Amino acid sequence: QQQVKQSPQSLIVQKGGISIINCAYENTAFDYFPWYQQFPGKGPALLIAIRPDVSEKKEGRFTISFNKSAKQFSLHIMDSQPGDSATYFCAASPHRYSGAGSYQLTFGKGTKLSVIP
């Protein structure tokens, strides 16, 4: 019940195209859904995050779509650029503080995005 399933494992997109990465979860206690971007040799960096009270959040070319009833959320990268080539991780955590161990993130296994010129 703690899993977050992420797909696809890898993705190749033409420059200017739309990159779409999907995640699904089972634990209904999850209340916070961040996406992280990781370049080789670096730690993951927070890209964008959403809570279930909204169905969509947009920051620049990055959009999270959230479907609470389906327990799914996705990352859309519009006008994909070669500089977006990285590994993307979705994650989820329960929001309510419940003592030690709270705010623990459960991560998907990652999607390696390659944007070709």
Nearer to other proteins, 30 or 63 (CB): 30
Nearer to other proteins, 17 or 87 (CB): 87
Q: Cβ of residue 115: shortest distance to other proteins, in angstroms?
A: 20
Name residue 9's amino acid.
Answer: Q
Q: Cβ of residue 15: shortest distance to other proteins, in angstroms?
A: 25
Q: Cβ of residue 110: shortest distance to other proteins, in angstroms?
A: 5
Q: Cβ of residue 55: shortest distance to other proteins, in angstroms?
A: 19
List residues binding other proteins (CB under 8 A): 6, 9, 32, 34, 36, 41-46, 49, 89, 93, 95, 97, 100-105, 107-110
What is residue 82's DSSP assignment? G
Cβ neighbours of residue 50 under 8 Å, at least 6 residues apart? 33, 34, 56, 57, 64, 66, 73
| DSSP-assigned states of every residue in 5-74 | EEE-SEEEEETTS-EEEEEEE--TTEEEEEEEEE-TTS--EEEEEE-TT-SEEEETTEEEEEETTTTEEE
Nearer to other proteins, 8 or 16 (CB): 8
Nearer to other proteins, 17 or 112 (CB): 112
Structure tokens at 10: 């890898």
